[in-house]
Structure 1
Amino acid sequence: MALSDKAGRAQRIYPVELVLVIGRALAQLVRPPSHSRRAEAARRWARHALWLTAALSLAIVILMVGVDAFEIGLMPPRGTPSLWPVKIITDFGKSAYVLWALAGLLLLVLLIVPLLRGVPRAVLIGFGTRVQFLFLAVLVPVAIGEVLKGIIGRGRPFVGGAADPYNFSLFAWNEAYASFPSGHSITAAALGFAVAAVWPRLTAVMATYVFVILVSRLVLLAHHPSDVVAGALLGLVGAMAVRYWFAARRLAFTIRQDGTIDPLPGPSWDRVKRVARGGSAP
């Protein structure tokens, strides 16, 4: 009977704890910034974002004027059967797949956290905060990109029959005229930057991932070169802005005196092992 009562109390407590965990996860995102060096980080982010935007905007203009039409003429015809491996690879940069995968992982963390206590709970919460960052770092620029696509209305390669890089239909909100900026490039660049920001050792791997996704969009004649560069620019700047938002609130990142944002070390799994062996958490 006692065991039954304990089980009943545990069942009643879990939903309450789950709601509290979700509430805290949302509240920490909108709380006022508290890091003492957030002004330095903001200036550094603004400076880097400005230079990156200026350099890549110049590249976009050069590509649009002198490269786009030539490059798409070199690609194999759309629908070439031998391109099936590229079609599989390019899906790894599809925003819906990436966002649903991250949302599923975040939901799993939220469901498990209420079941844990002590250091294991702290470790999982720290990991969940990082997944939350990855999700928002991709979602924010992707959402902006979708709006820009509909407003700009640039035709995809050979829409209308000609290799015309100046085929625009403003406010088209049509898939055929949703070439600029590339959504896959936004997703890949944002995810690549975000993962490398949290786990710097994966920088080379994520840079390769971004490059492969961008090239796949060109090979499949889904975008012009200027489209993928514009998408990469939006993905990078958007993810950088989300990183600053988290760092200013002491979430997943810390800020150095010069304004550099570094990943914040989470609770160590060694501590979890010590607790599991019966030791006390430091």
Structure 2
Amino acid sequence: MPADVAHRSGYGAQLLLLSGRALTQLVRAPSHSRRAEAARRLARHSLWLSAAGAAVIIALMLAFDMSEIQMMPARGTPGLWPIKILTDFGKDEYVLTALAAALVTVALIAAGRHGTSRALLLGFGTRLQFIFLSVLFSVLVAEILKFVIGRGRPFVGGKADPFNFIPFNGTEAHYSLPSAHAVTAFALAFAVGALWPRLRVFMFTYAIVIALTRLVLLAHHPSDVVAGALVGIVGAMAMRYWFAARRLGFAIRSDGAIVALPGPVFARLKRVARGASAP
């Protein structure tokens, strides 16, 4: 749409235009010249992470899952109410709803703006899209794995049996592996950390705390939360590649490493600072 037509069109048309462009940029063909190097690097890192994660998961099942859940307080213990509140900060429905609300808010505001302010909002919106889709994609993969694996939650069946599997069971009692809370928390932590590296320590601390709440509440075995962390991280890594291959929020270096582009606000501040320091 020509710029003058877009400028004259009403708010509703602007909102539709921005929403359409936001969706189109996600499904367009990848164009980055170094995407093949990035794909190979992603495959290599995903393979190593998956192999190491699988080894840890098996070791936990064999040597630690049963003893750990026997050390936890009984379900329904009154003193666990703060843990029950805390664990909800990793619930996929809540996290995805909050991210979706933020995306809608950015779109609603951007539709009424023009020029630099709109560009800044849209740049931030692209980063929100990445975070939202990283969590959503990881959660969808986890739901498939839960159904296929069918692992019983701690003490389902009346005893501490870490090998209580009924594949394709489809019931909540046998939806233990991987932990959806851990998937959500670690996908969110990786995605936010990929965009803003200074937040990595804070975000991964949050993810570990969420994972621990699932153990204390006897919702999962230790191997479940490790599997959830693995799915969340690898899922967010895959989404980062998807965005980088389309030149959205990330750049690909010559060695295939993917790095975040400076956010639009920070990029603008740097340009202003350089202009102010020029003689």
Query: Fold-level match, TM-score > 0.5?
Result: yes
Is it true that 1:155 corresponds to 2:157 in the alignment? Answer: no
Report if the CA contact (8 A) 1:123-1:269 is conserved. Answer: no
Match of 1:70 among 67, 70, 75: 67
- Cα displacement (A) at 1:35: 0.8
Tell me, in whole angstroms, the C-alpha distance in 2 between the residues paired with 1:240 and 1:43.
12
Aligned to 2:243: 246
Match of 1:61 among 34, 58, 63: 58
Residues 79 and 42 (structure 1), Cα distance of their counterparts in 2 relative to 1, 3 Å cut = same
Aligned to 1:96: 93
- Cα displacement (A) at 1:148: 1.3
Q: List per-residue Cα deviations over 1:62-81 (Å, max 9, x = no partner).
A: 00111100110010111111
Aligned to 1:192: 189
Identical-pair percentage: 63
Residues 53 and 269 (structure 1), Cα distance of their counterparts in 2 relative to 1, 3 Å cut = closer
Tell me, in whole angstroms, the C-alpha distance in 2 between the residues paired with 1:271 and 1:231.
38
Tell me, in whole angstroms, the C-alpha distance in 2 between the residues paired with 1:51 and 1:195.
22
Match of 2:24 among 22, 27, 39: 27
Q: How many aligned positions are there? A: 266
Is it true that 1:87 corresponds to 2:71 in the alignment? Answer: no
- Cα displacement (A) at 1:170: 1.5
TM-score normalised according to structure 2 size: 0.92
Match of 1:207 among 165, 190, 204: 204
Q: List per-residue Cα deviations over 1:75-110 (Å, max 9, x = no partner).
A: 011111111111111101000000000000001111
- Cα displacement (A) at 1:222: 0.2
Query: Runs (4+) of structure 1 moved beyond 2 Å?
Result: 266-272
Residues 12 and 41 (structure 1), Cα distance of their counterparts in 2 relative to 1, 3 Å cut = closer
Q: How does 1:141-152 map to 2 (within 5 A)?
A: 141-152=138-149
Aligned to 1:280: none
Tell me, in whole angstroms, the C-alpha distance in 2 between the residues paired with 1:108 and 1:224.
38
Is it true that 1:183 corresponds to 2:180 in the alignment? Answer: yes
Tell me, in whole angstroms, the C-alpha distance in 2 between the residues paired with 1:117 and 1:243.
28
Tell me, in whole angstroms, the C-alpha distance in 2 between the residues paired with 1:11 and 1:163.
67
TM-score normalised according to structure 1 size: 0.91
- Cα displacement (A) at 1:270: 8.3
- Cα displacement (A) at 1:114: 1.4
Report if the CA contact (8 A) 2:39-2:256 is conserved. Answer: yes
- Cα displacement (A) at 1:266: 2.7
Note the aligned Cα RMSD (angstroms). 1.8
Q: Gaps spanning 5+ residues in structure 1: where? A: 1-9, 276-282
Aligned to 2:36: 39
- Cα displacement (A) at 1:147: 1.5
Aligned to 1:4: none
Report if the CA contact (8 A) 2:124-2:264 is conserved. Answer: no
Tell me, in whole angstroms, the C-alpha distance in 1 between the residues paired with 2:152 and 2:122.
44
Match of 1:168 among 151, 165, 168: 165
Is it true that 1:217 corresponds to 2:210 in the alignment? Answer: no
Tell me, in whole angstroms, the C-alpha distance in 2 between the residues paired with 1:267 and 1:121.
11
Residues 116 and 186 (structure 1), Cα distance of their counterparts in 2 relative to 1, 3 Å cut = same
Report if the CA contact (8 A) 1:154-1:177 is conserved. Answer: yes
Q: How does 1:120-131 map to 2 (within 5 A)?
A: 120-131=117-128
Tell me, in whole angstroms, the C-alpha distance in 2 between the residues paired with 1:147 and 1:249.
27
Tell me, in whole angstroms, the C-alpha distance in 2 between the residues paired with 1:29 and 1:93.
26
Tell me, in whole angstroms, the C-alpha distance in 1 between the residues paired with 2:210 and 2:59.
21
Report if the CA contact (8 A) 1:126-1:266 is conserved. Answer: yes
